[in-house]
Amino acid sequence: MGDARGRGMELIFTGDLILDEPQPDHWLAGIAPALRSADLAIGHLEVPHTAHVEEVRDDVPAPGADPAHLPALARAGIGAVTLAGNHIADLGATGIADTVAGLRDAGIAYTGAGATLAEARKPAIVNSGGKRIAILSYNCVGPESSWAGTDHAGCAYIRVEPVDGGPIRPAAALERIDPASLTMLAEDIQAAKARADLVVVAFHKGIVHTRARLAPYERPLAHAAVDAGCDVVVGHHAHIIRGIEFHRGVPIFHGLGNGCVVTSALSPDQASPERAAWARKRKELFGFEPDPAYVLAPFHPEAVNALLGRLQIDAHGNVRAGFIPVHVDPPGRPRIAPDAAQRIADYVQAIGVEAGLPPLTMQITSEGVWLS
């Protein structure tokens, strides 16, 4: 972590992290310099890290990643992770318990999943740069089997119901936010704010593998978090970046895209029949064929555009938001890409306008892109 004395502090945010291939340090090395330069870097851990193999058969289960890969996150500069997502419970309570134990051993703070809902809702509190940062994490896309309860493991969640009244799952047309979830969210943010100088709220939300679109609930939910008192909202899950907006002066990164996703679990040629069938239907479901060069990251062609969200707070408490441009190289390795700053800035502007967000004012510098 960086030294904040005399200059305030900086937070960096990554999107989804899936490290179930060998040599995790290699895959993270292209973005690690930026992560290490921050006072606190926060990522979203997408899958459980466990040797347990008994899958929960709901949605399309992800395989567990090697627990030995977790310390690579710390070596790359990540000090905290959010866990509330649609895959964290794919290997049940054992997978969650193994993951949080591995994170503790690696010295990485975590929030969003645990043995009970109370544990999953508990914020991670990190002391960094002379400030206390509280982090909250919620899964907005289901499936309900992944959600924690009073007496069973899972993740924290926001209940968003589909228009057809069917099951809550990532592929559903989710639209209606349950008012009780909004009340819970406000209570969590206010409780965290009483304990910290800065509150980060992370939502696993949105429509996967699709350019620009925001689901009907996404902006109202992010705005509700800001209205409740948080200082930044970050989103992930779509595996492609989304637009950025400000609400009451607070930055909302609607989708950080892939932080570092390298996995063979999305290949049509594999042992899991569910994952193989999903991969074969990719074009039918989402209208694209992955570039064959991206064998470990077979996502939408525009997912090569990536970013690290950024928040700087100076010694007087003034905040500025921006991002560090990232390009994903074959077969799936992200790298800081100052040469692509203009292209990625133009892309973020374009997809934001397409999604109905206000246009941004951007300043491109040698440090990255700053927003207003």
Torsion, CA 71, CA 75, CA 81, CA 86, rounded to 10: -60
pLDDT at 58: 66
Task: For 204-222, write each residue's pLDDT tens digit.
Answer: 999 999 999 999 999 999 9
Q: What is the DSSP letter of 360?
A: P
| 81 in a structural domain | yes
Kindly state the percentage of the chain with pLDDT values over 70. Answer: 95
Q: What does pTM read for this prediction?
A: 0.95
Q: What's the full length of the chain, in residues?
A: 372
Is 220 among the domain residues?
Answer: yes
State how many domains the chain has: 1
In a domain, 83, yes or no: yes
CATH of residue 80: 3.60.21
CA–CA gap between residue 142 and residue 26 (Å, rounded): 32
- Indicate whether 4 belongs to any domain: no
46 falls within a domain: yes
What domain range is 193 assigned to?
9-371
Q: Which residues pair with 127 in a beta bridge?
A: 132
Asked whether residue 314 is domain-assigned, the answer is yes
Residue 4 has what pLDDT?
Answer: 41
Per-residue pLDDT tens for 277-335?
767 777 787 888 889 999 999 999 999 999 999 999 988 888 999 999 999 999 999 99
Render each residue's pLDDT in the chain as its tens digit; 372 residues: 344 444 689 999 999 999 999 999 999 999 999 999 999 999 999 999 999 877 666 666 678 899 999 999 999 999 999 999 999 999 999 999 999 999 999 999 999 999 999 999 999 999 998 899 999 999 999 999 999 999 999 999 999 999 899 999 999 999 999 999 999 999 999 999 999 999 999 999 999 999 999 999 999 999 999 999 999 999 999 999 999 999 999 999 999 999 999 998 877 776 677 777 767 777 787 888 889 999 999 999 999 999 999 999 988 888 999 999 999 999 999 999 999 999 999 999 999 999 999 999 999 999 999 998
Q: How far apart are the first and last CA of the chain?
A: 26
**E-only strand ranges, 120-268:** 124-128, 131-139, 154-155, 160-162, 174-177, 198-204, 232-236, 244-247, 250-253, 258-262
Residue 216 counted as domain residue: yes
Residue 94 lies in a domain: yes
